[in-house]
A and B are shown apart, each in its own frame.
Chain A
């Protein structure tokens, strides 16, 4: 019962905000042409959902996100593992990582467009770049944070270096890796939308900008709502995966 109560409260606050928004619009405190009330956005949203016209842009955006994200996760885990296990590689790569990581990835989009144009390649690259670093850093920390008792146990039980990495280090750092992957998912979504807005001709980001350019404000907000739902959905999915993969993390 308490679980339901807590989630119920959360829902209440969302409804509260929507109600406030509606009232502010009706009171004339904002320019309704620029910020329409939820009661006007809802029909536009319904139209988009009912007609199924949301499927194609959603598929395009999620497709780019998924490919770039997968690349980033594979590369991030591999690099994080290598750097965590090898002092030599760490010394070699760490300065490079520390220089590139703080650069806000959106700032690289114009440069990437010059190199890669405005197609799928650019979008996937941007997602991969943004998603790489949280996974890499968290994997690195996970590897380095493996309990020394576990490592010593592996040594005393006669495990080789490779065995230790495969059987002890990787599973032990999995909770941290997943944390990194979750952050990366959010960042990847941000980048793919941004890349679509700045330099593309398909996907949700492009659509939102296009609607703004033709001043179709209500559908534009409807799409933003869809985007919010997508972000939420991805997070929930991720939590489910996390619960399955690392059931011991809370113990």
Chain B
């Protein structure tokens, strides 16, 4: 496996603050590398460094055997492309957006037309050429941004939380596109993500980053198996909690995740554990539900995000839980900030990681 990029003792200071701290990382050609870390950990900065948009203060970057410096920065930029977390499109048609990079590379017009058409097909936006890019839906805009980067067939593709602001349907479309790009175009992909499932299923390797420093790089499977402690303590991923388990008479564990929150589970472990509850397994109600589910917690809504057809809520029951409900339910239940709600989930929904 050849490495396409190598970072050696890379440090980046911004206004005297250490944003990237002595990073040494090897990126293999053709892999998908997940970058997992909490907000402010330096994920975006690291991606910008790999996009050759930012220069490190100290340390070295090697790209395809070449050391990256002032002289080749602009040239090497042609080999990598970064897609922002917040979609940014040019105020023009979808076609002109996707064609932008090709025009910068002085590709002949006829070829541009063909390649743009193919790229739009890849992101399932055939026929969208003449549409005003800014008037599309959030999911469509993100796909245009992706097409705009993919069409350039760069060696390295950098994605900053590509599905963070999307509802599950659009998120899975984007995930498919990313996997296809990696498989068929053999693009090396580095993607920063917050999404547990994504981090587990998409990348071959995952690098954990915290406070500008990369703490572990492991295969995705191992990270979630062995290094779960680090993972949960980062709060890198939503609904992951670190806690202490004690066995009940029934042989199953109750996990204390702090602040008085005790979670009943169906596994039998003792001592230090990390657990994850999928947002889809959590029911939200305004009154306490009497049901067979063992875990019922009262809390307050502390954050609301609009994802189109879904609404993402953070409920603080002592620890923050992320819940997803349909917009319709949100409206029917008349929920808002600070509203007192109950979350309910089965003991069997608690996954040990």
Partners in one complex: no
